[in-house]
Structure 1
């Protein structure tokens, strides 16, 4: 009887493990874009890294933990780049990364929403990031559009020249 119980327990664990589903881990592919646009400044960021675990059929097991290098900002103007990386704005020497870490991903009417923490310049704020995901021949594509108020993250002060709100457009191709 003892042998039967051990065998039955082992069989249950074996069958259960066969049905355990793991969300897909994606690698960020070349060709991603992170563009920002606001009154007085526009440009791009590069230096995107991190973990993207996403599966349309396993949203509770899906998560984002991504960073962008603040030193990678490019406004198309060398002097603006220097100021943007400086102590008054992004302070790239002290805060080298912008980070987004999701706490939940859910289906929405228009795609998906990742709720999580956006950290810029050491300031952490809970945000909702609406995004879309589509399958491609080489993997997948994540796209998102969000508005960020730079003053909420202590990026510069009040200014007549530089607007507070910036539109951020993100397009990230991924592969397995």
Structure 2
């Protein structure tokens, strides 16, 4: 009788494990990524993006993003603007060296995906949603997102003036397995 239970127990364990294995893919951020920002008074790129990307197109709920951008990597194409942007009146890069986003939930939308989580800039943490698409290409793929960030919400600079409060971001991140 006990021997007859072994195949049954094995089948139960196998069936249960089929639901516990997560097929999420760990992706490595590849060269050629782009983090561009634009607004009246300032535009440019951030040149240093790092982080962990776990993403599964078929199971977005198992996905997770934890990425940082080095503030010192800002490049506006103007050395004086770069120095000013890194200074204490704006990003204050010496005190707040990174911009950090950690997702808490990834969902499928009609046009792609939303990564909901927490964005931290200039020592201020706020709930934030990043809409994005993912295009798989062989053993890699590319994440693309276009969204707005209100710098004043994060205490970066003063409201109004010659620089827009809201900046448009265009993010393109190629990844490999």
Q: What TM-score, normalized by structure 2, do the two folds share?
A: 0.92
Report deviation, 1:6: 7.1
**Alignment partners' CA distance in 2, 1:18 and 1:118:** 34
> What SS does structure 1 have at the residue aligned with 2:146?
strand
Stretches of structure 2 lacking an aligned partner (at least 5 in a row): none
C-alpha distance after superposition, 1:44-69 (max 9, x if no partner): 00111111100111111101110000
* Post-superposition CA distance 1:4-31 (Å, at most 9, x none): 6677545533443355233001000000
In the alignment, does 2:80 pair up with 1:118? Answer: no
Give the superposition deviation at 1:3: 7.1
The TM-score, its normalising length taken from structure 1, stands at: 0.92
Q: Distance in 2 between matches of 1:2 and 1:151?
A: 69
Structure 1 window deviating more from structure 2 (81-90 vs 134-143): it is 134-143
Report deviation, 1:127. Answer: 1.4
For 1:103 and 1:10, locate their aligned partners in 2 and report how far apart those are by CA, in whole Å.
35
Partner of 2:17: 17
Shift, 1:161, TM fit:
1.3
For the aligned residues, what is the CA RMSD?
1.7
Residue 96 of structure 1 deviates from its aligned partner by: 0.8
Aligned length: 176
- The corresponding residue for 1:104 is 105
Aligned residue for 1:173? 174
| Correspondences of 1:118-137 after superposition (within 5 Å) | 118-137=119-138
Post-superposition offset of 1:162: 1.1
Q: Distance in 2 between matches of 1:87 and 1:102?
A: 28
Deviation of 1:158 after TM superposition, in Å, equals 2.5
Q: Which residue is 2:68 aligned to?
A: 67
SS across alignment from 1:173: strand
The C-alpha deviation readout for 1:120-151, integer Å capped at 9, x for no partner, is 01111111211000111340100001111111
